Amino acid sequence: MTAYPVTDSPVLVTGASGFIGSHIVQQLLEGGYRVRGTVRDPVKTRAEGHLTGLSGADERLELFAADLLTQGAFDDAVRDCEYAIHTASPYAIDVADPQRDLVDPAVRGTISVLESCRKIDSMRRVVLTSSVAAITDHADGHLNTESDWNTGSSLTRNPYYYSKTLAEQAAWQFVEAGKPRFDLVVINPFFVIGPSLVPAINTSHTSLIGLTNGHIPAVIALEWALVDVRDVARAHILAMENPVAAGRYIVAAESRTVRQVVALLRSEGWGDRYKLPTLGLDNALGVVLTRIAANFQGPGTRDYMRNHLGGEMRFDNSKARRELGIEFRDVDQTVLETMDDLEKWGHLGRRR
């Protein structure tokens, strides 16, 4: 972050009450920015007090109601803004109706935000939270870069990934075809963990929780490309502030296997407090057995397991480090801080 705000105008943050959005709001306020946060239910958000209690919020945070599926919902919130950070999008793996619950809000919501931004003469840049889900939906050892696109997902295969891919493609088409006054910069985070400013359980945290409550009963052959939520938030703000930032940025720090995460937790005493998995299924037979077991999970989880079990998750984060100047936190430290935080919120399994 620069030493001073690059704009006196408020910065629009959609999904301000989300896991990532709330960290963006916090860092913007810390940086001296004025913030317009959109949430679906400002009355509830105010009553919970997690956003409104942030330092600087009294003077510089305004909350607006906006739903991704409501035409023109962002018009009021974006008025006079020069920068918008669009994080809001459903983040769920297993849903009843992928078109209704994932694709429609992701795609129509992104277009809605961009349409609202187009109406504003002052708008200079939109930073969009996409995902590595728009880059790939499987782990095959390929070194993923910003030039890769997910071409495998569909409504019936990894629909969350599909929603993120379609939403990001729609955003690029919007700026290429419509030539608005603003430019678009996209952040593609991987598996985001870290301390949460809000009580809701983030989907990515269910994996760590699953290691303590029996939902992941064995050491399975998965590799997670982890990144700290505070680094993800910082990447968004650096992308907003840096005039030469352009295109997509993979924001991920390092990969860890489930075996490595479990070993880390044991070495720090978590195995004495919670029942961590001991059975090793991270071998050829284990992959076969886990694939069979995955058939009894929800369709999104089943797809994720099928496309990631036994695979290596490789990515190149050099563009974000080079152009945004981001230095990633140590992911082992982040895993441990996340566990402390999940315990604090009461989200972990039963203690031994």
Residue 129 CA to residue 250 CA, distance in Å, equals: 11
Q: How far is the CB of 27 from ligand NDP (least distance, A)?
A: 14
Residue 268 CA to residue 212 CA, distance in Å, equals: 14
Helix (H, G, I), strand (E, B) or coil at 60: helix
Q: For residue 120, give the H/E element and its range.
A: none
Which of 9, 27, 144, 202 touches ligand NDP by CB under 6 A?
Answer: 202
- Residue reference for tokens 């999940």: 342
Q: How far is the CB of 170 from ligand NDP (least distance, A)?
A: 13
Residue 317 CA to residue 352 CA, distance in Å, equals: 39
Residue 89 or 307 having the CB closest to ligand NDP: 89
Which of 11, 28, 29, 88 touches ligand NDP by CB under 6 A?
Answer: 88
15 binds ligand NDP per the rule CB under 6 A? yes
Q: Please pick, among 44, 119, 164, 344, the residue that the annotation labels catalytic.
A: 164
125 contacts 185 by C-beta, under 8 angstroms: yes
110 binds ligand NDP per the rule CB under 6 A? no
Residue 189 or 300 having the CB closest to ligand NDP: 189
Quick one: which segment of 87-95, 144-152, 236-244, 334-342 binds ligand NDP (CB under 6 A)? 87-95
197 contacts 21 by C-beta, under 8 angstroms: no
CA-wise closest residue to 84 among 115, 58, 57: 115
- Residue reference for tokens 């709330």: 22
Q: Is 164 a catalytic residue?
A: yes
- CA distances (Å), 165 to each of 37, 102, 250, in order? 24, 11, 14
265 binds ligand NDP per the rule CB under 6 A? no
155 binds ligand NDP per the rule CB under 6 A? no
User: 11, exposed or middle or buried, with CB in 10 Å at 0-12, 13-18, 19+?
Assistant: buried
Which of 189, 194, 277, 286 touches ligand NDP by CB under 6 A?
Answer: 189
Which residue of this chain has its Cβ atom nearest to ligand NDP in the complex?
18
* Backbone phi, psi, residue 269, to 5°: 85, 5
The alpha-carbon radius of gyration of the chain (Å, integer) is 20
115 binds ligand NDP per the rule CB under 6 A? no
For ligand NDP, the binding residues in 55-74 under the rule CB under 6 A are 67-69
- The token duo for 333 is 């430290």
Q: How far is the CB of 23 from ligand NDP (least distance, A)?
A: 8
* Backbone phi, psi, residue 337, to 5°: -65, -35
171 binds ligand NDP per the rule CB under 6 A? no
93 binds ligand NDP per the rule CB under 6 A? no
> Which residues have a catalytic role annotated?
164
List of residues contacting ligand NDP (CB under 6 A): 15, 17-21, 39-40, 67-69, 87-91, 105, 129, 131, 164, 189, 191-192, 202, 204
